[in-house]
Amino acid sequence: MVARSHRADAVSWHACAGTASPRRPLADPPALAHGIHIADHGRPTSPRPRGSLLFHAPGCPVLSVIAVVLASFLVIRVVWPLRLPVPVRLLLALAVYGMALHHRIVASFAGTMASPEIPALAIATLGTGFITLLLTALFVLALDLLTLLLWALRRKAAVAVLRRPMLRPGAAGVALLLSLYGTWQAMAVPQVRQVEVTIAGLPAAFDGYRILQLTDIHASRLLTGDWVAQVVAAGNAQHPDLVVITGDLVDGSTTARADDVRPLADLRATDGVIAITGNHEYYSQYYDWMQAFRALDMLVLENSHLQLRRAGAALTIVGVTDPVAVRYLQPPPDLDVALEGADPSAPVILLDHRPTAARANATRGVALQLSGHTHGGHIVGMDQLVRRANGGFVSGLYQVDGMQLYVSNGAGLWPGFASRIGVPSEITVITLRSVRNQQQ
């Protein structure tokens, strides 16, 4: 039985409409049973979904099309100009196309697009090759555009330099070195990042309250139980008051990932561990994962909230579902439902996997939103594209119409794009501060 520390009589937990599975954790230590009051609003819960428990993640056709276009570009501009026998160039071209489509190829015989079930070394090797392909295409395109510009300016000497036969293969070599570094960084145990957030109206009893945010753990064949255990140990060393896991805990089925998520049961915090769903929880055995998380002694907030009380003061922790839920017959995110029954005088901290809805959430009186999903953009430069796809948010602390938003780079990442270049992973410790404390 998990023995996690909880403050008795200090927490009340409200299960609201739209929940998809039983509200009481399956693991029920005495302290947990004594310290949490469960109040159901009486609305029916969603039925167990049919036909979607073993869902294979979306095939990402856009990603595949882009990858094939880039592969074709590289074959034309890098592979075919090489002074090698035609059979060798054909083999290299096939290798480039294979790398571009490796997600689909692997998913056809070992796992899914969301969770390739092949050895970690194979995932890392294929991932390094895929990132090398992307970076090489970017570098070669930049060289070609620069060559075109210099040609238009009639800089013949410079154009001659840029047309040297080995320049573009050399760019591929640089891309490979960067990709190897990116894969190494992606698999590294994240460092702890300390963030202080001042909240107007925060009761003095919660001044200095420490929240450990873990997000985008993505336990998988790449980031295994040993890696997860190191993340847990680093988090526990911070001695937080509360642990929140803001989605994308796993990639794969409950059977495949049982050993990899087991270390999460060792997380320790004064007021326990809260989790919400990300998009990846819905890609494989959603219902079973919700049961498994509760068996690991997590409170899973699905459009519901947790009321923390200290010295007569209150703090509300709210969790919403991910927008992808509707594709699997599950409730979409609903902040209004999640806030039903909450103490109106208490500051609200919202756990929302994606930062996209931050501006709308700010209008509902949320003081602080904690999100992930973006992985910080993975690669410097690419983060600008990720920012555009996520409402203008990608990494760090933002002020959003009177609300504060923190977007974590995440502890792990999806094994299908396992690279971090200039965007380190993180374990985040958020220390709450009252305005009064800041003025002193």
337-340-343-349 Cα dihedral, nearest 10 degrees: -10
Whole-number Å distance between alpha carbons of 380 and 376:
9
Cα 76 from chain centre: 36
pLDDT at 49: 39
| pLDDT over 60 at 75, yes or no | yes
Show which of 186, 215, 238 is a domain's final residue. Answer: 186
Whether 112 and 202 map to the same domain: the answer is no
How does 143-180 read in b/e, with b if 16+ C-beta sit within 10 Å? beeebeebeeeeeeeebeebeeeeebeebbeebbebbe
Show which of 186, 218, 247 is a domain's final residue. Answer: 186
111 within domain boundaries: yes
pLDDT at 40: 35
50 within domain boundaries: no
Whether 105 and 203 map to the same domain: the answer is no
pLDDT at 387: 95
Whole-number Å distance between alpha carbons of 371 and 356:
9
Write the pLDDT tens digit of every residue in 414-431: 999 999 999 999 999 999
Whether 231 and 314 map to the same domain: the answer is yes
pLDDT at 113: 83
Provide mean pLDDT across the span 360-371: 97
Domain count along the chain:
2
pLDDT at 438: 58
pLDDT at 29: 33
349 within domain boundaries: yes
46 within domain boundaries: no
Residue 159's pLDDT band (boundaries 50, 70, 90)? confident
Residues 6+ apart with CB under 8 A from 174: 135, 139
Provide mean pLDDT across the span 314-339: 96
232 within domain boundaries: yes
5 within domain boundaries: no
Whole-number Å distance between alpha carbons of 292 and 301:
14
Whether 426 and 284 map to the same domain: the answer is yes
In three-state secondary structure terms, 363 is coil
Domain enclosing residue 399, as ranges: 11-41+190-439
Whether 178 and 205 map to the same domain: the answer is no
53 within domain boundaries: no
- Tokens for 109, please give them: 């015989």
Write the pLDDT tens digit of every residue in 377-406: 999 999 999 999 999 999 999 999 999 999
pLDDT at 65: 86
Concatenated DSSP letters of 271-288: T-EEEE--SGGGSS-HHH
Whether 249 and 120 map to the same domain: the answer is no
Whether 176 and 194 map to the same domain: the answer is no
Q: Which long-range contacts (CB under 8 A, 24 or more apart) does 401-404 make?
A: 401/359, 401/362, 401/363, 402/362, 403/358, 403/361, 403/362, 403/366, 403/367, 403/368, 403/369, 404/197, 404/199, 404/367, 404/368, 404/369
Whether 36 and 107 map to the same domain: the answer is no
Whether 304 and 284 map to the same domain: the answer is yes
391-132-187-325 Cα dihedral, nearest 10 degrees: 40
Write the pLDDT tens digit of every residue in 231-260: 999 999 999 999 999 999 999 999 999 999
Whether 171 and 148 map to the same domain: the answer is yes
Show which of 186, 213, 238 is a domain's final residue. Answer: 186
User: Percent of the chain, pLDDT > 70?
Assistant: 85
pLDDT at 8: 35
pLDDT at 110: 87
- Tokens for 344, please give them: 């109106």
Whether 242 and 372 map to the same domain: the answer is yes
Whether 169 and 306 map to the same domain: the answer is no
Identify the residue with better confidence: 29 or 155. Answer: 155
Residue 437's pLDDT band (boundaries 50, 70, 90)? low
4 within domain boundaries: no
**Cβ atoms 282, 328 nearer than 8 A:** yes
CATH number of the domain enclosing 433: 3.60.21
